[in-house]
Amino acid sequence: MSKTWFITGTSSGFGRLLTEKLLARGDRVAATLRRMDALDDLRETYGNRLWIAGFDLTDQDAIRATVDRAFAELGRIDVVVNNAGYGLFGAAEELSDEEIRRQVDTNLIGSIQIIRAALPHLRAQGGGLIQQVASEGGQITYPSFSLYHATKWGIEGFVDAVAKEVAPFGIRFTIVEPGPTRTDFGKGLSIAEPMDIYADTPAGQVRDAIFSGGFDIKGDPDKMADAMIEYADRDNPPLRLALGGSTYPSIKAALEGRLAELEAHKATTLAMDFDD
């Protein structure tokens, strides 16, 4: 049975791949993007099975109006894929106030508002699935990506809580956590002005590795898009789905490290209550 999807950020990367694959298998896609001509080739091929709208994730009024219009014109939407976003690169001290605000407004607040706009419609229709594209960077961190991590850890916390709130209405969530992947992520990276003081620090070392091509990126976006579709078709999709050969050991090591630190200070933690 065909499905109807609402996908943000469809001009490139995962959004574009998902849109291509879903249309090819006979589904309908409501695609949002900022460049309205980016999907002209797909519109020519698939006609009215591709619904297109443009907005900026920092425009909250436009988000709600677009989501409302998509549900009104398409009827039931089975899967919402919250995919749009970008990366901000630079040590925390290097970032400008404007860069910080735009990153938070786009990746975190924009994603939150997409979910908030979709929830009443999903609740009214008796359920649905929201796939929130986060990152392995919602579980681990790299120097020079502090604000990007802030948005990804933030949206993971938000989704984790909201999933509990709306489970009684048949609304499910999957947080998708890709690792380094061969997409256009790097082309869209916003880069802060570097400070010399950070050149010989972990922040500077990450900068050197990225701009010298030292990062070995093995993630296959085509396989990951297939996995997102496969898991969306499941009756009970997981709350989190990590994707990528390097992602599993990275997240596992981070979780084990946090657990070990918790256990190391267990006595202090447990001693902080009032004595009866």
| 97 pLDDT higher than 80 | yes
Residue 59 lies in a domain: yes
Query: Mean pLDDT throughout 87-116?
Result: 94
CATH code, domain with 179: 3.40.50.720
pLDDT, tens digit (0-9, with 9 covering 90-100), for 14-39? 899 999 999 999 999 999 998 888 89
Residue 121 lies in a domain: yes
| 45 pLDDT higher than 60 | yes
Nearest of 87, 129, 82, 121 to residue 104 by alpha carbon? 87
Domains of the chain: total:
1
198 classed as catalytic: no
Residue 185 structural domain: 4-246
Rounded-to-integer distance, Cα 66 and Cα 117, Å: 9
Nearest of 69, 82, 113 to residue 6 by alpha carbon? 82
In total, the chain counts a number of residues equal to 276
Residue 170 lies in a domain: yes
Residue 9 lies in a domain: yes
Residue 256 lies in a domain: no
Cα 251 to Cα 80, 138, 178: the distances in Å are: 25, 9, 11
Residue 32 lies in a domain: yes
Predicted local distance difference test score (pLDDT) of residue 11: 87
Residue 54 lies in a domain: yes
How far apart, in Å, do the first and last CA atoms of the chain sit? 60
Give the torsion through C-alpha atoms of 103, 18, 142, 107, to 10 deg: 20
Residue 270 lies in a domain: no
Q: Which of 46, 142, 148, 198 is catalytic?
A: 148
pLDDT, tens digit (0-9, with 9 covering 90-100), for 178-230? 987 666 655 666 888 888 898 889 888 888 887 776 667 687 899 999 999 99
Nearest of 38, 135, 19 to residue 85 by alpha carbon? 135
